[in-house]
Chains A and B, each alone.
Chain A
Amino acid sequence: MRTWKDRMRHSTRGLGFVALVLIVAAIFGVLEPRFLSYVSLNGIARHMAANGLAALGLTFVVIVRKFDLSIAGVAAFCAMSMGALIAAGWPLWSVILAGLALGAVIGGISGIAISRFGLPDIVTTIAVGSIGTGLAFIYTGGRSIFQNFFTSGITDLNDAKLMGLGVSMWLLVAIYALAWFVLSRTRTGLAFYATGENPMAAHFSGIATRRFVALAYVLCAMCTVLAVLLILAESGTAETNKGANLMMPAYAGVFLGAAIMGGTSVIASFGGILLITMLLDGFALMGLPYYYSDGVVSLILLIGVLAFSDGARGTLQALRFLFWPQKSTKPTAKGSDA
């Protein structure tokens, strides 16, 4: 018996998501007609690409039931490192590879400290993130780097289009598709989820749980590098505060998506980050000062998670019970169930 009910439930959640996105778009469209303009939509796509990559990395970490609070620090350090390499005249592809390698090393350090040596994840990643934030200053003492940026070709990542869609968006879609395949269609994905659900049972099942935890941090840092690369491409300079705005949207996207879809997954994160980016850009367009944006995102996150939590459902049911205490399900027939 193929569980069509389950699929239905899944697709209703998915449809609900799409409806939510359309409603948000419509509301902004009415309040601020520029929201639906080509320029604005294009901007949303670009911001979504950067935010989405950070959220994807975080998705792996959240699946193994850990936290990574080093995203901003890693982003800052890697942004300046890549900026310095561009300024030094390295070809773009080697800059990207070097950035990814650096990210992998930093993620590996957090990951091994947490999985192998059992350090608490929150403290470790705050520390690693702060170190990254500090190291971001070693190249220029805090001044921005922009030499060679326009000749290096990095800005093409922001401007170039392929079949009408920005390359950054293609990058996002390609990497999400890959991650989706790995997490939901391979044994590696099952192992990731098992590690998060019950590390002890996973260990007893022969799954190298420590390795998967460490790997999650490595992937998270590498995705962060890709995200910050897109930010460099958009702004054309490397600054120490690049990436400071990556973390909150990433968390909001992952958790809001999980709340709506009923579990952490690549698809949930994709939807979550789409929603968050629309809200952020929409508010920005309506003139909300940037310093409020983290606050707004966090507020939306709280409301979203609350609205979709089991607790909320329980409360609703309790209310129903208060108002219609007699309206309960009487069993129909005394037969065998299911």
Chain B
Amino acid sequence: MGAPVLTASDVCKRFGPVQALRNVDFRLEPGEVHALLGINGAGKSTFIKILSGALQKDSGTIRIGGEDVHFRAPEDAIRAGIATVQQHPELVPDMSGLDNIFLGRETASRSLMGRIDREALEARADALLARFAVPIDLSQEVGQMSAVEREAVAILQAIAVDGIRVLILDEPTSTLTDVEREDLFALMNQLRAQGIAIIYITHQLEEVFAIADSFSVFRGGACIARMSVEEARSSGVSLADLMLGEAVGDIFPPKADPDARGDVFLEVRDLSLTHGFENVSFTAHRGEILGLFGLVGSGCDELAKSIFGVDPPDQGEIRIHGKPVSLRKPREALDAGIFLVPGDRRTEGLALSRHSLFNVPMANLRRAAGGRWGLKSRQLRTDIQRLTDQVALHPPHLNTPASGFSGGNQQKIVLAKGLYSEADIYIFVEPTVGVDIGARAKIYGLMRELSERAAVIVVSSDCDEVHGVADRTIALHKGRQVEPESGVFSRDDLLMAGIMGEGSL
């Protein structure tokens, strides 16, 4: 191989008491897809934020094409040919997808008065869409788009830059589903063929073998290994073990004993919501985990929110402990004993600028006040300390605002909030988005533990997750429920049911 496109040496970054990066050494060869691996909080996003100019390093050097660079702002990095899709892309919600893609780059001229040529922009957008073929209406406002569509817009925005040498993707597939993932991989292959180097962050380790040429592993803020995928394959090292620094076994807990299945806690009959789902019926029992698999647009998310009273169903019946209920808002659902771990944690789950002591008790303020009005601060603190330990929040700081935690750890705060609410029925939507493999095992274990006293429903667009953790599974396709013929889905049948619908079985 030729000279590396990008090298970093001795890069350090500290956030207050947290040393996020310690003496990171890193190398990226031209035309390679390089995976960046590491558990939540290992420092991956921090590192790429530095590479992309979103953060400044404390010390160390970064070289691009052999030249020292110091990026003060994202524009500097873009000018140097580094295009980035951040883990949580910042888009302008009130602008259309198209305007977001070309924001600040509408015209070739840099003058403020440069006229914007709509047709030319649309033509450029079409050209981009030809390369990354996601079905998406770019005239829609970004604020109205689903998480997948927003991610797609962010990717289009990144590749719209001319003359990129390096493309950085921070966990794009944590929001994308299997279908768009294939499109993304096709795009990456295309870019690689043009000699563009790609840094790719993911927690889905099988993706490393599917797309990457080489990978680096971050642990505790340091880059502890660099290897080619060939090498890893032939030597048979376990990526998970490398990341965690210890051996991980099976990440899924054992299935429940079918005889130990308890009472029906939640029953849903012929539930329908316009533009959401139709005639969905199922039961959820204490003592088991029910899995609901569906891609984006399958109505899964809508169904979960509907049961939780966010968007009450138009038709059908919900029974809790056998009694019919009508839940018209989350408050009523919480009172009835349902807790929803929402899919979009940053907008629906957390007050990002607040710490765990604020976020965790939010869904059960009654408990926080011991049934009275004044808060029981000491009790609150010990309870929250216990829960954050239980979900393995890292770093275990109760007073750090949620925005100061890595993506996966933010999810753990939401989980702690769910545990604090002490519900009877838990609905987890995409519970492990962005969560590393070690923490995932822990979360699945927690769900199993929870299921001993509560009914647990896992809603996910990750087929392996649903199949792996649930005792019983249902698929949703375009709002319609797909049931297995034989009573149980095999993993492949579940996947087909979710992707193709009824006819596939």
Binding site for B on A (CB under 8 A): 3, 6, 181, 185-188, 190-191, 193-194, 197-198, 200-208, 321, 328-331, 334, 336-338
CA distance A197 to B346 in the complex (A): 12
CA distance A328 to B352 in the complex (A): 29
B59 contact from A187, A194, A328, A337, Cβ within 8 A = A328
Chain B stretch 295-315: residues in CB contact (< 8 A) with chain A: 308, 310
B369 contact from A186, A198, A200, A328, Cβ within 8 A = A186
Q: By the criterion CB–CB under 8 Å, are B58 and A329 in contact?
A: yes
CA distance A205 to B222 in the complex (A): 37
- Chain A residues near B334: list those with CB within 8 A: 205-206
Chain B stretch 225-257: residues in CB contact (< 8 A) with chain A: none
Q: How far is the CB of A185 from chain B (nearest CB, A)?
A: 5
B348 contact from A200, A207, A329, Cβ within 8 A = A200
Q: By the criterion CB–CB under 8 Å, are A205 and B362 in contact?
A: yes
- B445, CB-defined interface residue at 8 Å: no
Q: How far is the CB of A149 from chain B (nearest CB, A)?
A: 39
Given contacts A206-B331, A334-B23, 4 further A-B contacts (CB under 8 A): A204-B363, A205-B330, A207-B365, A336-B220
- Chain B residues near A200: list those with CB within 8 A: 347-348
Q: By the criterion CB–CB under 8 Å, are A188 and B373 in contact?
A: yes
Q: By the criterion CB–CB under 8 Å, are A338 and B362 in contact?
A: no
Q: A328-B58, A337-B395 are in contact. Are A190 and B12 (CB under 8 A)?
A: no
CA distance A181 to B377 in the complex (A): 13
Q: By the criterion CB–CB under 8 Å, are B221 and A337 in contact?
A: yes
B220 contact from A181, A207, A330, A337, Cβ within 8 A = A337
CA distance A328 to B358 in the complex (A): 33
Shortest Cβ distance from A6 into B: residue = B399
Q: How far is the CB of A198 from chain B (nearest CB, A)?
A: 5
Q: By the criterion CB–CB under 8 Å, are A194 and B373 in contact?
A: no
- B77, CB-defined interface residue at 8 Å: no
Q: A194-B362, A201-B362, A328-B12 are in contact. Are A187 and B347 (CB under 8 A)?
A: no
Q: A328-B12, A329-B14, A330-B12 are in contact. Are A204 and B399 (CB under 8 A)?
A: no
Q: How far is the CB of B368 from chain A (nearest CB, A)?
A: 6
Q: By the criterion CB–CB under 8 Å, are A331 and B330 in contact?
A: no
Shortest Cβ distance from B396 into A: residue = A338
Shortest Cβ distance from B310 into A: residue = A204
Q: How far is the CB of A333 from chain B (nearest CB, A)?
A: 9
- Chain A residues near B398: list those with CB within 8 A: 3
Chain B stretch 330-355: residues in CB contact (< 8 A) with chain A: 330-331, 333-335, 340, 342, 347-354
Shortest Cβ distance from A321 into B: residue = B56
Q: By the criterion CB–CB under 8 Å, are A187 and B395 in contact?
A: no
Total A-B residue contacts, Cβ distance less than 8 Å: 108
Shortest Cβ distance from A3 into B: residue = B399
- Chain A residues near B377: list those with CB within 8 A: 185
B361 contact from A181, A185, A190, A338, Cβ within 8 A = A190
The 4 closest A-B pairs by CB, nearest first: A197-B351, A187-B365, A205-B363, A206-B331
CA distance A186 to B23 in the complex (A): 45
- B375, CB-defined interface residue at 8 Å: yes
Q: A191-B365, A337-B19, A338-B397 are in contact. Are A201 and B220 (CB under 8 A)?
A: no
Q: How far is the CB of A254 from chain B (nearest CB, A)?
A: 18
Q: By the criterion CB–CB under 8 Å, are A187 and B351 in contact?
A: no
Size of B's binding interface in residues, CB under 8 A: 49
Q: How far is the CB of A316 from chain B (nearest CB, A)?
A: 14
Q: By the criterion CB–CB under 8 Å, are A206 and B363 in contact?
A: yes
- B22, CB-defined interface residue at 8 Å: yes
Q: A190-B368, A329-B14 are in contact. Are A201 and B350 (CB under 8 A)?
A: yes
- Chain B residues near A207: list those with CB within 8 A: 331, 362, 365
Q: By the criterion CB–CB under 8 Å, are A208 and B351 in contact?
A: no
Chain B stretch 188-234: residues in CB contact (< 8 A) with chain A: 220-222
- Chain B residues near A338: list those with CB within 8 A: 17-18, 395-397
CA distance A55 to B196 in the complex (A): 57
CA distance A198 to B331 in the complex (A): 16
CA distance A161 to B398 in the complex (A): 45
Q: By the criterion CB–CB under 8 Å, are A329 and B220 in contact?
A: no
- B366, CB-defined interface residue at 8 Å: yes
Q: A185-B375, A338-B18, A338-B395 are in contact. Are A202 and B220 (CB under 8 A)?
A: no
- B104, CB-defined interface residue at 8 Å: no
Q: By the criterion CB–CB under 8 Å, are A204 and B349 in contact?
A: yes
Shortest Cβ distance from A334 into B: residue = B22
Q: By the criterion CB–CB under 8 Å, are B18 and A337 in contact?
A: yes
Q: How far is the CB of A138 from chain B (nearest CB, A)?
A: 41
- B135, CB-defined interface residue at 8 Å: no
CA distance A6 to B381 in the complex (A): 15
CA distance A3 to B22 in the complex (A): 25
27 pairs, CB–CB < 8 Å, chain A vs chain B: A186-B375, A187-B366, A187-B373, A190-B358, A190-B362, A190-B365, A194-B351, A194-B358, A197-B353, A198-B350, A200-B347, A201-B347, A204-B342, A206-B329, A206-B333, A207-B331, A329-B14, A329-B58, A330-B59, A331-B12, A331-B14, A334-B22, A337-B17, A337-B19, A337-B221, A337-B395, A338-B18
- Chain A residues near B363: list those with CB within 8 A: 204-206
- Chain B residues near A331: list those with CB within 8 A: 12, 14, 19, 22-23
- Chain B residues near A188: list those with CB within 8 A: 373
Q: By the criterion CB–CB under 8 Å, are A187 and B310 in contact?
A: no
Shortest Cβ distance from B354 into A: residue = A197
Chain B stretch 362-413: residues in CB contact (< 8 A) with chain A: 362-363, 365-366, 368-369, 373-375, 377, 395-399
- Chain B residues near A204: list those with CB within 8 A: 308, 310, 330, 340, 342, 348-349, 363
Q: A3-B399, A197-B353, A328-B58 are in contact. Are A203 and B373 (CB under 8 A)?
A: no
B330 contact from A181, A203, A336, Cβ within 8 A = A203
The digit string for B273-295, where 1 denotes a CB below 8 A from any CB of A, is: 00000000000000000000000
CA distance A319 to B427 in the complex (A): 50
Q: How far is the CB of B345 from chain A (nearest CB, A)?
A: 9
Q: How far is the CB of B143 from chain A (nearest CB, A)?
A: 12
- Chain A residues near B374: list those with CB within 8 A: 181, 185-186
Q: By the criterion CB–CB under 8 Å, are B373 and A201 in contact?
A: no
CA distance A203 to B334 in the complex (A): 11
Q: How far is the CB of B184 from chain A (nearest CB, A)?
A: 28
CA distance A181 to B374 in the complex (A): 8
Q: How far is the CB of A10 from chain B (nearest CB, A)?
A: 11
Q: By the criterion CB–CB under 8 Å, are B348 and A206 in contact?
A: no
A198 contact from B17, B347, B375, B399, Cβ within 8 A = B347
Shortest Cβ distance from B58 into A: residue = A328
Q: A334-B222, A338-B395 are in contact. Are A187 and B368 (CB under 8 A)?
A: yes
CA distance A328 to B349 in the complex (A): 36
Q: A187-B375, A331-B22 are in contact. Are A201 and B348 (CB under 8 A)?
A: yes
CA distance A181 to B369 in the complex (A): 13
CA distance A337 to B369 in the complex (A): 34
CA distance A205 to B309 in the complex (A): 11
CA distance A204 to B308 in the complex (A): 9
CA distance A205 to B359 in the complex (A): 10
Shortest Cβ distance from B351 into A: residue = A197
Q: How far is the CB of B438 from chain A (nearest CB, A)?
A: 15
CA distance A221 to B347 in the complex (A): 31
Q: How far is the CB of A11 from chain B (nearest CB, A)?
A: 15
